[in-house]
């Protein structure tokens, strides 16, 4: 790796229920399906990792305004873990999970896209309101598809979309991070945390990032974090030893279990953005703002959509990866039939950063 190269993650989704959309098990009134089957991972109901079944399902036909994507790769996200665990209140079953995927246009469905065009898609109801990316093919609204131009391996591209969108949106919309500010990332070894660290350094900010595991401190340092910090549940005092007045910005990726302590780490007029919940805790019970939020500290959140990630930002990031200015390292690439293993790893937080599935045809 050349000097100056940033190493990004070794390798979160609000969804509004929409009008009926085609699914692999019930195409609905909006579209037909071909007789030719596809391989897909289907979840009949919440359950353990073994509840994710690889099946032959009908190939869906895109209705007006939708496209069909031939999927080459997809990232694995905690949103899909929450779906499998029964924590998603806006989902129906059976369902093909997956809130993101990358691949090529298989059927443009009368839109401006062309067959074979490389694209990414994410969020917008994928994997909850309609079938998502855990498959060889999926149909999605054309409005949430972003064209790309890259020769990067599909497994590399598959690690980026949702992770980059969440990190970018959190730093810009959620925190309005600026050069020379100090950012605390709570949950630094998550894929979003590592992406946010790389983006923050490109902005010109100083980065403090936490991990609960001592052996991961060196990994954070190797990935350009200025101050790796061991997290025992309370880090505000340690942060203020580094920055006595408190940090300018905090990205909270652990959840409400650490949120009060994260708020105490921020300076007056500093901002804490609640984005992630790897602890599976996202509710604040008996919330009394005056007692919960320190004087003058701002609490925001971020849970955006594909439209929040500008095409130019995504393309520039892909170009940076291709040029070696940013070096994504994938924790592990799985096959479709290894999805239960991947979910078991995610459930125990065994991976540092992103896990990806390479889809074969």
Could you report the per-residue pLDDT of 246-302, keeping only the tens digit for each?
Answer: 999 999 999 999 999 999 999 999 999 999 988 888 899 999 999 999 999 999 999
Residue 310 lies in a domain: no
Work out the average pLDDT over 307-313: 92
R_g over Cα of the chain: 20
**Two tokens at 292?**
């919960």
**Two tokens at 218?**
């060196």
Give exposure, 307-329, as e/b (b: 16+ Cβ within 10 Å). ebbeeeebeebbebbeeeebbbb
User: CA 327 from chain center: how many Å?
Assistant: 18
Residue 241: which CATH number?
A: 3.40.50.720
| Range of lowest pLDDT (96-100, 198-202, 228-232) | 198-202
Strand-pairing partners, residue 108, are none
Residues 6 or more apart whose CB falls under 8 angstroms from that of 208 comprise 182, 183, 184, 185, 225, 226, 227, 229, 239, 242, 243, 247
Residue 315 lies in a domain: no
Residue 296 lies in a domain: yes
| Shared domain check, 267 and 181 | yes
**pLDDT confidence band for 5 (50 / 70 / 90):** very low
DSSP, residue by residue, 210-246: EES-GGGHHHHHHTT-SEEEE-SS--HHHHHHHSTT-
**What's residue 25's pLDDT?**
46
| Shared domain check, 138 and 226 | no
Strands laid side by side in the 298-301 sheet: 227-230, 206-211, 182-186, 247-252, 266-274, 298-301
**pLDDT confidence band for 19 (50 / 70 / 90):** very low
In this predicted structure, the answer to whether residue 14 has a pLDDT above a threshold of 50 is no
**What's residue 123's pLDDT?**
94
**Residue 10 C-beta-side C-alpha neighbours within 13 Å:** 11
Residue 86: which CATH number?
A: 3.90.180.10
Work out the average pLDDT over 334-341: 97
| Shared domain check, 240 and 103 | no
Q: How many folded domains does the chain comprise? A: 2
Over pLDDT 70: what percentage of the chain?
Answer: 90
How do 66-75 and 227-230 pair as beta strands?
unpaired
**What's residue 81's pLDDT?**
95
**What's residue 132's pLDDT?**
98
Work out the average pLDDT over 43-49: 97
**Two tokens at 276?**
């992630």
How do 227-230 and 206-211 pair as beta strands?
parallel
Work out the average pLDDT over 35-58: 95
**What's residue 10's pLDDT?**
38
Residues 6 or more apart whose CB falls under 8 angstroms from that of 297 comprise 263, 266, 267, 268, 269, 270, 271, 272
Over pLDDT 90: what percentage of the chain?
Answer: 78
| Shared domain check, 155 and 283 | no
Work out the average pLDDT over 101-125: 97
Strand-pairing partners, residue 8, are 328
In this predicted structure, the answer to whether residue 205 has a pLDDT above a threshold of 80 is yes
Residue 142 lies in a domain: yes
| Shared domain check, 151 and 172 | no
**What's residue 315's pLDDT?**
96
**What's residue 319's pLDDT?**
95
**pLDDT confidence band for 305 (50 / 70 / 90):** confident
In this predicted structure, the answer to whether residue 193 has a pLDDT above a threshold of 80 is yes
**pLDDT confidence band for 229 (50 / 70 / 90):** very high
| Shared domain check, 109 and 63 | yes
Work out the average pLDDT over 235-252: 98
Prediction pTM value: 0.86
Structural domain of 81? 6-160+328-358
């Amino acid at each position: 790796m050349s000097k100056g190269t940033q190493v990004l993650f070794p390798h979160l989704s609000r969804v509004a229920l929409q009008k009926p959309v085609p699914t692999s098990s019930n195409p609905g009134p909006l579209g037909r399906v071909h007789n030719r089957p596809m391989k897909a991972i289907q979840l009949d109901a919440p359950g353990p990792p073994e509840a994710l079944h690889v099946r032959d399902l009908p190939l869906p036909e895109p209705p007006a305004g939708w496209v069909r994507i031939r999927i080459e790769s997809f990232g694995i996200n905690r949103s899909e873990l929450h779906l499998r665990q029964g924590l998603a209140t806006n989902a129906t079953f059976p369902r093909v999970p997956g809130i993101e995927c990358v691949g090529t246009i298989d059927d443009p469905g009368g839109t401006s896209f062309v067959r074979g065009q490389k694209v990414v898609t994410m969020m917008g109801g994928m994997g909850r309101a309609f079938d998502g990316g855990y498959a060889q093919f999926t149909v999605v609204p054309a409005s949430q598809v972003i064209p790309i131009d890259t020769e990067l391996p599909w497994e590399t591209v598959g690690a980026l979309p949702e992770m980059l969108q969440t990190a970018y949106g959190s730093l810009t919309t959620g925190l309005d991070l600026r050069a020379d500010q100090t950012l605390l990332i709570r949950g630094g070894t998550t894929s979003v945390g590592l992406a946010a660290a790389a983006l923050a350094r490109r902005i010109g900010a100083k980065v403090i990032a936490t991990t609960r595991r001592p052996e991961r401190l060196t990994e954070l340092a190797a990935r350009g974090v200025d101050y790796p910090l061991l997290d025992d549940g309370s880090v505000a005092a340690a942060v203020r030893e580094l920055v006595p007045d408190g940090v300018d910005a905090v990205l909270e990726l652990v959840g409400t279990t650490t949120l009060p302590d994260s708020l105490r780490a921020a300076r007056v007029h500093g901002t804490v953005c609640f984005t992630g919940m790897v602890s599976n805790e996202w509710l604040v019970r008996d919330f009394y703002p005056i007692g919960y939020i320190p004087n003058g500290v701002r609490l925001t959140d971020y849970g955006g959509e594909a439209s929040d990630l500008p095409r130019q930002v995504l393309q520039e990031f892909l170009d940076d990866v291709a040029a070696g200015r940013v070096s994504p390292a994938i924790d592990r690439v799985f096959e479709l039939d290894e999805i239960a293993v991947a979910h078991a790893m995610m459930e125990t937080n065994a991976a540092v950063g992103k896990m990806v599935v390479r889809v074969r045809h």
